[in-house]
Amino acid sequence: MKHGAIAILPLALGAAIYGFAFGLLAAQVGFPWWGVGLMSATVHSGSSQIVAVEQFASTQTVVGAALAGAALNLRYIGIVASLSDVLAGLSLKTKLLAIHITGDENWALTMAERAKSPDVGAAFLMGSGLVMITVWTASTTAGAVVGAVIPDLERFGIGFAFTAAFIAMARGLWRGRPQLFPCVVAAAATIAVVSLGLPKAYAIVAGTISGLAMSLILRRASGAVA
């Protein structure tokens, strides 16, 4: 466990900076510092949290904001599924703890280290995961504490930080040219729905469904989906 906890430290530093920035933004839109900490400890997913907080701030819809954030977490179905060998033999309680403290960074590090040495397993995953969730919770809380005592940052354009974060996430999720048309269709549909005067929450759903439809059409045309 100690091996994983030490190996993850450089990645944890990067997460701490991102976490501090998220906490700052969350406080600016009305989340108290302890609420931010609670969210980080119980959700443990940066992209989901930033999407949910931004959607809640802009639309005030509770379920819509939470589900939009949760949808970003669908990749964890595959991530957790890939851990079946690593988690084999653990009790159910330990497995549930392990999957909660698993994030993108410690999962990727565990898989990379395991490819080099089969001895790397659940202890490494959990050691690195415990460091990551601790750093994430502490850094987001610290950001929220600072964000609550500084003046309104909106006039300095801090609200645009959410948009910039989404752009960075889109870049991180980019998997190449086959995604281009679905993304263009999703963006065009979203803008069209907003232009019609409908709420942005609906526009995002319409854009996402339109993009999925285009992706299905392209996959059927290429024979990838029956």
What residues between 35 and 94 interact with other proteins by CB under 8 A?
Answer: 35, 38-39, 42-45, 47-49, 51-56, 60, 62-63, 65-82, 84, 87
Query: Which sign, positive or negative, has the C-alpha torsion 59, 171, 191, 154?
Result: positive
Cα–Cα distance between 188 and 175 in angstroms, integer?
A: 20
Interaction mask 159-198, other proteins, x per CB under 8 A: -xxxxxxxxxxxxxxxx---x--xx--xxxxxx--xx---
Shortest reach from residue 45's CB to other proteins, in Å: 6
Shortest reach from residue 128's CB to other proteins, in Å: 16
Shortest reach from residue 120's CB to other proteins, in Å: 20
Is residue 211 involved in binding other proteins (CB under 8 A)?
yes
User: Residue 6 or 94: which CB sits closer to other proteins?
Assistant: 94
Shortest reach from residue 12's CB to other proteins, in Å: 14
The DSSP code sequence of 5-38 is HHHTHHHHHHHHHHHHHHHHHHHHTT--HHHHHH
The DSSP code sequence of 120-132 is --HHHHHHHHHHH
User: Residue 3 or 148: which CB sits closer to other proteins?
Assistant: 148
Rounded (10°) angle between helices 33-43 and 9-28: 130
User: Residue 51 or 145: which CB sits closer to other proteins?
Assistant: 51
User: Residue 3 or 183: which CB sits closer to other proteins?
Assistant: 183
Q: Which residues contact 91 (CB under 8 A, 6 or more apart)?
A: none
Cα–Cα distance between 28 and 23 in angstroms, integer?
A: 9
What residues between 111 and 130 interact with other proteins by CB under 8 A?
Answer: none
Name which position in 99, 123, 146, 217 contacts other proteins (CB under 8 A): 99
User: Residue 6 or 160: which CB sits closer to other proteins?
Assistant: 160
Name which position in 95, 104, 123, 217 contacts other proteins (CB under 8 A): 95
Sole residue written with tokens 């599924």: 81
User: Residue 108 or 224: which CB sits closer to other proteins?
Assistant: 224
Angle at CA 161, nearest 5°, toward 19 and 50? 45
Shortest reach from residue 92's CB to other proteins, in Å: 9
Residue of 121, 79, 73, 119 lying closest to 102 (CA atoms): 79
